[in-house]
Amino acid sequence: MKKFDIPIHYKSSIISRIKELRKIQDPRKKDFTPTHLDFGPVNFIIARHFGFCYGVENAIEIAYKTIEENPGKRIFLISEMIHNPGVNEDLKSHGINFIMDTEGNKYIELDEITKDDIVLTPAFGTTIELENIFRDKGIEIEKYDTTCPFVEKVWNRANSIGKNDYTVIIHGKHKHEETRATFSHTVQNTHSVIVRDLEETKLLGKIILGEIEKEEFYKIFGGKYSQSFDVDKHLSRVGVVNQTTMLASETQEIADHLKDVMTKKFGSDKVDEHFADTRDTLCYATNDNQRATYGLMEEEADFAIVVGGYNSSNTSHIVELLESKFNTYFISSSDKILSSELISHFDIHSKKEIESKDFIPQNDKVKIVLTSGASCPDSMIDAVLNKFLSYFESVKRLDEVIEE
């Protein structure tokens, strides 16, 4: 796989060594068991896969090269490059301006941007409508496009089934910029509906089967369907794609449910005419990270730490999985570990940051699960690991631990 030139401060002295050792031992990524780092009084159980993925490193490399090669020019990012506050603040400190937030609320009016400016497309991609606005201004939007190739793969899959007259069901968060971009690209060729989860999919299935009045579709899925959507016509042939950071298991459940609905309505002998089996469109990194998270859940530990941006979809899903077994603390950086007795962390249910006291148990050996999302630099995991080590006495040296 291509190696990217990313700033040195995103790289790691600890985690990078562990990843390299695991890569040598398991080049084909068949082993999803975690790495144990036994420092004596504290044992870290570290996920097999986590941190910057291909798409993130590609986006960061393009962004910093753009800054370096265009001194004196105004450089804009359509929205957050990735969902990591540290990375986005670093880009701002280098002079990059953000046009809007992740939900499309503008910081800068588009009229203020001219043909002499540079506009970067984030790793999540952007909508056709925005691309056309910038092209009309004479801006080379394609030249500075950091859209992840795995997001583009979803667009291609949606385009393929759309051309065969299937409506595309997008499993995603309808306000997420990647889902908005996928929806925009999809509706160029066919109709589309966004479903958030299996529960919404079940409602859609009842509408298809006539168990819920079709007029209810427009209320339940308000703002989530394409223009001129006709329930009778456009829900007779469907296929599923997803936002690349959703839970793979849930996407499969959604696809299976809709296939069952189509089988019930049209018969098993005709289901292939009404359901396009697109397979999962989850990106490889999200898939690897989720499988590595299931590997963590086979372990016993006192608590789990997940590091990443609070608006990161793939990180939130890792938290969701881990908290079914461990006391799980979702933090954006090591700064959130306020002391050995107090941690400030994000609650994915209330969407608020809260504080927890006495989170480190008074055990002879403390076991900590440690992982992150795909937009978290390895250097942040180093910082978290070192912060915890500072709370324990007589810890082993790192070289000794890695040698073991």
H or E, element range at 305: strand 303-307
CATH number for region 149-276: 3.40.1010.20
**Residue 213, pLDDT score:** 96
Residues 6+ away with beta carbon under 8 Å from 184: 126, 127, 128, 129
**Residue 282, pLDDT score:** 66
**Residue 168, pLDDT score:** 97
Cα–Cα distance, 384 to 380 (Å, whole number): 6
CATH number for region 54-136: 3.40.50.11270
Contact 326, 401 (CB under 8 A): no
Q: What is the domain partition of the chain in residue ranges?
A: 8-53+284-403, 54-136, 149-276
Strand 96-98 relative to strand 75-77, pairing: parallel
Matching fold, domains 8-53+284-403 and 149-276: yes
Query: Which position has the token pair 């189509």?
Result: 262
CATH 3.40.1010.20 fits 8-53+284-403, yes or no: yes
**Strand ranges for 131-208 from DSSP E:** 167-171, 192-195
The SS3 assignment for 21 reads helix
Contact 358, 327 (CB under 8 A): no
- 139: tokens are 């801006």
Q: What is the DSSP code (8-state) at residue 393?
A: S
**Residue 107, pLDDT score:** 93
Closest CA to 171 of 195, 137, 199: 195
Q: Which residues of the chain have pLDDT under 50?
A: none
Active site (catalytic) residues: 178
CA angle (324, 328, 334) in 5-degree steps? 160
